[in-house]
Amino acid sequence: HYIEYTARITGWAEEAAAKTGGHAWRDYYATYYNAPGDPIHYHEGAHQLVHHRLNVNSGGSWFQEGMAVYFEGTVFTAEDPGKGMKSIIKSGRATPLATLIELPSLLMSSDDQRDASLGSRRYQQAGSLIKFLVEGEHKKKFPALLLEVKARTPWTELFDELLGASVADIEEQWEKFYK
């Protein structure tokens, strides 16, 4: 029932709805899980808090999903988004940051059946980037970054102006954080 409901309420195709475990929109979220402690509830709740309560509805898919992954994995009981990033970075399987921040949708970013884990890896990478920004060397500047995201989304400018680092610099610092 979740897939049909999601397709009807969001206007997504059923195959797009089937790729999700849940979604948040306005003052509700829906999942097909029946387990209150399941991380998907925290993930979708984080979307509600960030997008609909803090009114941070920009930043792109990587930012919105990264915030939700960070929230579910760091604040609650799900797996830490940074776990395993060292291996992903070392093996060259991380999506370049310049590419990641431009993707219109992490959820729909992989139609390649040979690499079904690409979408999941991008979610984890986005969550680990948020963790790096919240807990790493730029942590004191994260509140200002969050406020600026409300007004605009060009990450190339935000990183440079607020953190004094280019996208390439942030990617290098992020990789060091996990190595």
Backbone angles phi, psi at 25, to 5 degrees: -160, 135
Neighbours of 75 (CB within 10 A): 10
pLDDT above 90 coverage of the chain, percent: 38
DSSP the chain: -HHHHHHHHH---HHHHHT-SEEEETTEEEES---TTSHHHHHHHHHIIIIIIS----SHHHHHHHHHHHIIIIISSS--TTTTHHHHHHTT-SPPHHHHTT-S-STTS---GGGTHHHHHHHHHHHHHHHHHHHSTTGGGHHHHHHHHHH---HHHHIIIIIS--HHHHHHHHHHHH-
CA distance 115 to 97: 19
**Mean pLDDT across 66-94:** 86
**Mean pLDDT across 129-158:** 88
pLDDT above 70 coverage of the chain, percent: 88
CA distance 179 to 84: 10
96 contacts 124 by C-beta, under 8 angstroms = no
pLDDT for the residue 33 = 64
**Mean pLDDT across 119-146:** 93
For residue 49 the two structure tokens come to: 């808090």
CA distance 16 to 57: 21
pLDDT for the residue 42 = 80
| Least reliable range by pLDDT among 69-73, 100-104, 109-113, 165-169 | 109-113
Residue 78 above 90 pLDDT?
no
The residue with tokens 């206007």 is: 11
Residue 132 above 90 pLDDT?
yes
User: What pTM did the predictor assign?
Assistant: 0.78
pLDDT for the residue 134 = 94
173 contacts 136 by C-beta, under 8 angstroms = yes
